[in-house]
Each structure stands twice: as structure tokens, then as C-alpha cells.
């Protein structure tokens, strides 16, 4: 009974140590997903895992005991890192493990990338055991390995500027025919002149959600407020309109930009996201109306916001260069 209790206490202490080690590498404002085997920091695009190794029962000497404990800790950390990576959502339909199961080439690539993880911290315990924290970026080689072959807009294609997605203010401009019935009382017929917001300005309902105000003109980035929607982060989140038509991801982003930049960043706070270097100095902020897709990784915008985003993206290249942050 005492042995079982001692093991339980040891396991509890290990869990607390592992959690504190990873917590030291994470900012309070980061959007983090914690799993049994490790942690995914969706803000920095890093996956973390920890392993603890014990020295052999009968070591030849202290140096060998420490070396063997270090090796054991590193092996356990890599195993935990691989398990964490397998659970990373690629899109609303797939996690990394699905690709690894179906495709041996992807499995080999992912396993190789995990083995190349860097050691962030090594801690030596008083009992001779060693704790090792490892990390792996989701951008670059890993993203390239799990991206579907068909993903991405062709680099030779002309940027898509949806002419059909004109904003509502433009539709109201052809109304200056009203002056004809204005003969009886010209002064009162000033009614048709209704103040309309300029075309680049997003709907006021969106701006009321945050202290961040779009300055007008060319947008430099996009912040999606997805709080309260039950949204879940993924490598390839889509932005869609109420009809389910895609506004952002594979039809807009090239594979190269997706691999190098990551399709989207994540944050927990709208103001922090709007001040992030990823969206530079003049981002537009939209409030999502629901989480879409089987795994709730995609964001649906209201019709007016969807039209405004299409218009703004036609005037700039912020979507093509993945200058997108999603708050959840």
C-alpha cells in the first residue's frame, strides 16, 4: 500500500513539474491548447512536450548515470511530442494523425521532424532524474509535410478581386433620380441625401466589439473576433460567408506563404491581436457569427462583413500574405 501511495505522489509531482516547465515558456496572452502529452501554443506556432528520465538502478558511475537519465528523458519527451503533434488539427475534417495513418511518406516526414526537435530546457533533480523540455515549430517543414498537395493558389495566377462582392453603399449611388418629384417643395426633398459610411469602413456592429478602429484606406491585416463561438484552432482555418462560400484560405493563399507564415495566428485578446506585428498597423476587425465545419475550426462572418472583407482584400494583399489573427 505504501509503495502504491508513493508512486501516486511521484506521478503527481512529475505532472506538476512538467506543467510548470512548459508554463515558463508561455506568455499569459498566448492562445494555448493543453493535451495529456504536451502543449500547443497557437500564438507562437510551437508544440511543447516534456520527458522525465530516471538513472539506472546500478550505474557504473555518476557521469554515466546522468547521461543515461538525460537520454531517457529526451526519448520520452520526443515520444510525448509526437503524440501531441498527432492531435494537431489540420482543418475542420482532419488531424495530423489521419494523414500519418493514410500516407507512409507523411508519417516518415513528421516523425523525422519531431526527432529534430530542439531542447528548450534540462533540469536535474535531486534524486538523479532528469527533466527535458523540447519544442518544435509548426511552420516550415512540418507545415509543408501535412499540407495537402492540392492546397494553395497558383503563384502564377492573378490575385482574385471579387467584382461581384460590391459593398452596399455602392449600390445606393444610382439613386440621384429623386430630384424630379422635388418640384412642390425643394427644401424638404433633401431626404435622399442620407449619410453613408465610406466604402472601406467595416460595419459599425463590428467596430463596437473592440476599441480597435480601422483607419480606412488599405487594410494591412485582419483580426477575427471568434470569442464565444466554441471555435477550435487549426493549421488551415477558413473564413466563410453565411452561404458557406470560402473567403479566405486555399483559394487565396499560396502554398509558399502558408508554409513560411502559417495560415493564421491565434490570440486570446482582440486588442493584443490588433497590435501584433503580424497584422501591422492598420488591421480591420470583424466579429464572427458562428464556428463552422465539422470540428468548428472555421469562422463564419455576417453577410455585410463578408462583403466588406471581399472588397478590402481586393484592394490589398494582406490575405495573400496570411496577415490574419483569430481570437478565440
Contact predicate 137/45, CB 8 Å:
yes
Q: What is the pLDDT of residue 230?
A: 96
The answer to whether the beta carbons of residues 270 and 223 sit under 8 Å apart is: yes
Q: What is the pLDDT of residue 279?
A: 96
Q: Does residue 203 surpass a pLDDT of 50?
A: no
Residue 253 is given by DSSP the state S
- Residue 24, pLDDT score: 57
User: For residue 111, is pLDDT > 90?
Assistant: yes
Which of 13-22, 112-121, 139-148 is the least confident region?
Answer: 13-22
Please give the pLDDT value at position 47. Answer: 98
Strand arrangement, sheet containing 265-267: 246-248, 239-240, 298-301, 283-292, 221-225, 324-327, 265-267
pLDDT of residue 314: 93
More confidently predicted of 204 and 68:
68
DSSP code string of 197-237:
--TTSPPHHHHTT-S----SSS--EEEEE-TTTT----SS-
For residues 88-99, average pLDDT? 97
In sequence order, what DSSP letters do the residues of 87-101 get, joined into one string?
T-B-SSS-BHHHHHH
- From the list 63, 39, 45, the residue with the least C-alpha distance to 134 is 39
- How many other β-carbons are positioned within 10 Å of the β-carbon of residue 137? 16
Alpha-helix runs per DSSP H in the chain: 2-23, 62-86, 96-102, 104-115, 141-146, 168-171, 204-207, 255-261, 270-274, 303-315
pLDDT above 80 (res 284): yes
Q: Which of 55, 49, 48 is nearest to 124 (CA)?
A: 55
Tell me: the pLDDT tens digits for 40-68? Answer: 999 999 999 999 999 988 767 888 899 99
Average pLDDT, the chain: 82
- pLDDT of 94 reads 96
Amino acid at each position: 500500500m505504501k509503495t502504491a501511495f508513493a508512486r501516486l505522489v511521484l506521478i503527481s509531482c512529475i505532472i506538476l513539474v512538467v506543467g510548470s516547465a512548459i508554463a515558463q515558456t508561455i506568455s499569459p496572452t498566448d492562445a494555448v491548447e493543453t493535451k495529456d502529452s504536451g502543449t500547443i501554443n497557437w500564438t507562437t506556432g510551437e508544440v511543447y512536450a516534456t520527458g522525465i528520465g530516471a538513472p539506472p538502478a546500478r550505474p557504473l558511475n555518476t557521469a554515466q548515470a546522468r547521461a543515461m537519465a538525460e537520454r531517457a528523458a529526451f526519448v520520452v519527451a520526443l515520444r510525448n511530442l509526437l503524440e501531441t503533434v498527432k492531435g494537431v488539427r489540420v482543418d475542420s475534417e482532419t488531424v495530423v494523425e489521419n494523414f500519418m495513418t493514410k500516407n507512409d511518406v507523411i508519417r516518415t516526414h513528421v516523425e523525422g521532424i519531431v526527432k529534430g526537435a530542439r531542447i528548450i530546457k534540462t533540469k536535474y533533480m535531486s534524486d538523479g532524474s532528469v527533466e527535458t523540455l523540447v519544442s518544435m515549430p509548426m511552420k516550415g517543414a512540418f507545415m509543408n509535410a501535412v499540407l495537402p498537395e492540392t492546397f494553395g493558389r497558383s503563384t502564377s495566377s492573378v490575385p482574385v478581386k471579387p467584382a461581384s462582392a460590391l459593398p452596399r453603399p455602392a449600390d445606393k449611388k444610382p439613386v440621384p433620380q429623386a430630384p424630379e418629384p422635388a418640384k412642390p417643395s425643394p427644401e424638404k426633398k433633401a431626404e435622399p441625401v442620407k449619410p453613408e459610411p465610406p466604402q472601406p469602413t467595416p460595419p459599425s456592429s463590428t467596430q463596437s466589439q473592440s476599441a480597435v478602429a480601422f483607419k480606412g484606406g488599405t487594410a494591412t491585416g485582419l483580426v477575427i473576433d471568434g470569442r464565444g463561438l466554441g471555435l477550435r484552432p487549426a493549421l488551415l482555418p477558413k473564413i466563410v460567408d453565411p452561404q458557406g462560400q470560402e473567403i479566405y484560405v486555399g483559394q487565396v493563399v499560396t502554398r509558399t506563404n502558408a508554409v513560411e507564415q502559417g495560415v493564421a495566428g491565434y490570440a486570446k485578446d482582440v486588442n493584443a491581436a490588433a497590435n501584433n506585428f503580424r497584422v501591422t498597423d492598420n488591421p480591420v476587425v470583424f466579429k464572427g457569427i458562428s464556428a463552422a465545419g465539422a470540428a468548428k475550426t472555421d469562422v463564419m462572418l455576417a453577410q455585410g462583413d463578408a462583403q466588406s472583407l471581399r472588397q478590402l482584400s481586393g484592394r490589398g494583399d494582406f490575405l495573400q500574405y496570411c496577415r490574419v489573427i483569430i481570437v478565440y
